[in-house]
A = this chain, B = another copy of it.
Amino acid sequence: MMTFPLMAEKECLGVVMALNKIGAEHFTPEDEALFHKYMNFAQVITLQHYTAYMWNVESRRSQVLLWSASKVFEELTDIERQFHKALYTVRTYLQCERYSVGLLDMTKEKEFYDEWPVKLGDVEPYKGPKTPDGREINFYKIIDYLLEGKEEIKVIPGPPADHWALASGLPTYVAENGFICNMMNVAADDYFTFQKEAVDETGFVIKNVLSLPIVNKKEEIVGIATFFNRKDGKPFDEHDEQITEALTQFLGWSVLNCDTYDKLNRMEWRKDIAQEMLMYQTRCTTDELQSILNTKEKFDADPEDCDQKEMYKLLRANIPVADNVNGENLYLFSFSDFPVTEFDLIKAGIRMFFELGVVEKFKVPAETLTRWMYTVRKGYRAITYHNWRHGFNVGHTMFCLLQTGKLRKYYTDLDAFAMVAAAFCHDIDHRGTNNLYQTKSASPLARLHGSSIMERHHLEYSKTLMGEESLNIFCNLQKRQFENVQHLFDVCIIATDLALYFKKRTMFQNIVNATEPMTDEKEATAFVSNNPIRKEIVMAMMMTGCDLSAITKPWEVQSKVALMVAAEFWEQGDLERSVLDQQPIPMMDRNCAEQLPKMQCGFIDFVCSFVYKEFSRFHKEIQPMFDGLNNNRAHWNELAEVYNAKMKAIEDEKKKLEEEEAKKAGGGGEGGKSKTCTIC
C-alpha cells in the first residue's frame, strides 16, 4: 500500500491510496517516487477544487448576509414579516429543496388569574419542554418555503403538534437546547422519527435536515430555522452550517428591529392616549360653553341646532362692549386687565375678533370661537406671570397695534385674524421657567426642541387645538388659506423668543428707515404689504412689541406687573438652587431684589426702548407706547437712585467706620493695617 495525504494548509482533505502492486510483492522506491510526482499534481488539483468550493461558500455567505440586510433595513416591521422577507430573498443561495421557520411564543409570564387553578392545585402545572430562558415551547406559526418544482410558500398559523415539520420533535429539541442539529441521514436516525413517506400533496420526502435556533441579542430563542434536503442530494456539511449559521445569527440579531417596531408603536399609542385625555380635560366643557354662549337658556337648544346669525347676536350681547370692559377701553394701549376678571377676559378676547370683523367674514361658528377662546384660557397655567392674563394682554396689544396703531393696512383680514389668535396662544402652557432652565433641567421639552424650546411648545399646542374640529376657528377656510394661517402662527409664536430679537432688529430698522422719507402713504404701504418678507419682519417685531408691552403701561400697572415678572424669575431662581444646585443669575436671585429698579432700567435701555422708539417712528399712532415706556423709565430710575443713594450712604458709613478704626489702631504704617493679631 502506498498512501498520500491531500492537504490544504494544515487540513487534510483526503488520502490517496494505491493498493497491491500488480505483478510484484510490493511497491518499489521508483513506484513511490512516481506516485509522489503524480500526487503532487493531484494535490494541486484537489486544493484548487477545495479553494473554489470555499470561495463559493464564502461568496454565498456574504450574499446571504447582504440580501438579508437589504430586507431587514427596508422598513420597521414585525418579526413574521421581517423573517419572511429575509428568508425569501436569500432562497437561491441556500441550495436546499425546502426550508421552514417556526416562530416561538415569547410570553414569559401568565396572567395572575390563569395561575389560580394551578396554585390551588386544581390543574397540573406545565411539565413540557421549555426554552433555556424558561418559556413553554409553543410554535405559534410556521412559514414553509418549498423550492422544489414550482416555488411555494405556506403559512401555517397555530400548527398542530403532529404537523410534519414539528412531529419529529427536532425543532422542539433545538428550541430546548439551542444546539445546531445536522441530521445527515434522516431514515437511519433513531432519536427523532421523521415522517418516512411524502409529507404533503407535493410528494416531498425528507432526506436530510439541518436545524438551527434563531437567537436574539438577549440570548432568547425566538424561532427555529430548518433546512431540508441539500440540492445535490448529499447531506449538509459544515460549510452549509456556516452559511445557515450566518443567516440565523443575522436574523436573530435583527429581532432588535422588530422589538423596536413594537416599542415605537406602543410609545405612539401611549402618546395618543395621553393626548386624547389631555384634550378631554382641557377642552371647554358644555357647561363652560353655556356660561358664555347661553343657547340653552335663550333658545332651549344645543349650539349646533341654532342659527349662526342669531348666535352671533347672542354672543355680542353677552360680551362687554368694545370701549368699556369694566371701565377699560379695548382700543387704548393703556388698557389694564386688572379690573377685569379672568372669565370676563375670555369674553373680551372673543369681542376683539368681532371688532376685527373676521368672525362673519371667515364664517367662524360662534360656539367654536367661544370654545376655542375658553380652551386657550384653560391652557394657561395658574402661574405667577405667564398666565392667562399675560396671554390675553399680548393678544390685546396685537389688536391695538393693528387697529389703534394702524398697522392693519399692511395686512389682509386673514393675516390680522391669525396674528391676534396667535398672540393669544403665544405662551400657552408656560410653566414659569425659561428656555435655559428647560435645557439645564433636561426636560422632555428641551430634548424634543433644539432651540426656542418653550416657543415651539406653545406653537405645537396651539396647532393641536386647531387640529380639533370643535375648536378650530379656522375650520371654514380653504386649504391654502389654512396653510397660510399655520405659517403665520409659526412666524408669530417663534418670534416671541427674545433670543431671536437681535437677529431681526436691523432688518426692522431698515424697513422703518426706508419708509420714513416716503411722502406718499400708498408707496409706503405698498413697500411693506407687497413684500411678504417685510410683512413677516414687521409682524415678528409686533409680537415682540406685544410681549413686552407691560413696560409701556401706566406706572401703576407697570409697577405691579414688573413685580410679578420678578417673582416668577425668583421662583425659577429658587428651583435652580434647589433642583439644579446652581447659583441663579442676579435677575433670578431674590436676594438681589433691591437691584430690580436698576435692572429694569437696563432692560428698557438694551431691549425695549428700540422696539417702541422704532414703532413710534414707523407709525406716530404708536407714540403712546413709547411715552409710557419713557415715563416708566423715569420712575424706575428714580427708584434706582434711591437705592444707589442708600447704598452710597452705607458705603460711606462703612468707610467712615474703617477710617475711625484705623485711627484708633494708632495711625500710620502699612496702610493703616493693624499689626495686632486677634484670635477669633
Choose the segment among A41-49, A654-662, A666-674 that binds chain B (4+ C-beta atoms closer than 8 Å): A41-49
Give the contacting residue for A260; candidates B47, B113, B260, B280; CB below 8 A: B260
CA distance A610 to B429 in the complex (A): 51
Q: Does A381 contact B (CB under 8 A)?
A: yes
List residues of A (235-287) whose CB comes within 8 Å of B's CBs.
Answer: 246, 249-250, 253-254, 256-257, 260, 263-278, 280-282, 285
Q: Given A117-B507, A264-B267, A282–B281 Cβ distance below 8 Å?
A: yes
Give the chain B neighbours of A58 by CB distance below 8 A.
55, 58-59, 61-62
* A116 at the binding interface (Cβ < 8 Å): yes
Contact for A271 among B48, B116, B270, CB less than 8 A? B270
Report Cα–Cα, A277/B458, bound state, in Å: 12
Asked whether A500 lies within 8 Å of B113 as measured between CB atoms, the reply is: yes
Contact across chains for B73 and A256 when beta carbons are under 8 A apart: yes
Pick the contact of A278: B52, B72, B281, B533 (CB < 8 A).
B281
Tell me how far the C-beta of A379 lies from the nearest C-beta in chain B, rounded to whole angstroms. 9
- Is residue A491 contacting chain B, with contact meaning CB distance below 8 A? yes
Report the minimal beta-carbon distance from A276 to chain B, rounded to whole angstroms: 7
Interface size class of A (residues with CB under 8 A): 35 or more
Are B273 and A444 within 8 A (Cβ)?
A: yes
Q: Which residues of B contact A246 (CB under 8 A)?
A: 62, 66
* Given A271-B267, A271-B270, A281-B278, residue A253 in contact with residue B457 (CB < 8 A): no
A residues 548-596 in Cβ contact with B at 8 Å = none
In angstroms, Cα B73 to Cα A217, docked, is 8
Tell me the bound Cα distance from A495 to B61 in angstroms. Answer: 53
> A112 to B491, Cβ gap below 8 A?
yes
A191-218 vs B, CB cutoff 8 Å, 1 = contact: the mask equals 0000000000000000000000000010
> How would residues 28 to 54 of chain A score, 1 for a CB under 8 Å from any chain B CB and 0 otherwise?
000000000000000011011001101
Cα distance, A257 to B507, chains bound together (Å): 43
Complex Cα distance A202/B264, Å? 46
Contact B448 A269 (CB under 8 A): yes
Q: A59-72: contact bitstring with B at CB < 8 Å (1 yes, 0 no)?
A: 10110011001101
A540 at the interface (CB under 8 A from B): yes
Q: Which B residues are in CB contact (< 8 Å) with A232? A: none
B281 x A113 contact (CB < 8 A)? no
Which of B51, B61, B266 touches A48 (beta carbons < 8 Å)? B51
A511's closest neighbor in chain B, by CB? Answer: B120
Complex Cα spacing A45 to B45, Å: 9
Residues of B within 8 A of A270 (CB): 271, 444, 448
Docked CA distance A75–B218 (Å): 11
With a CB–CB cut-off of 8 A, which chain B residues contact A457? Answer: 273
Residues of B within 8 A of A381 (CB): 280
A163 contacts chain B at the CB level, 8 A cutoff: no
A490 at the interface (CB under 8 A from B): yes
Known: A257-B257, A274-B275, A278-B278. 4 other contacts (CB 8 A): A73-B253, A117-B507, A273-B448, A280-B381
Residues of A within 8 A of B (CB): 44-45, 47-48, 51-52, 54-55, 58-59, 61-62, 65-66, 69-70, 72-76, 111-113, 116-117, 119-120, 122, 217, 246, 249-250, 253-254, 256-257, 260, 263-278, 280-282, 285, 378, 381-382, 429, 444-445, 447-448, 457, 487, 490-491, 494-495, 500, 503-504, 507, 533-534, 536-537, 540
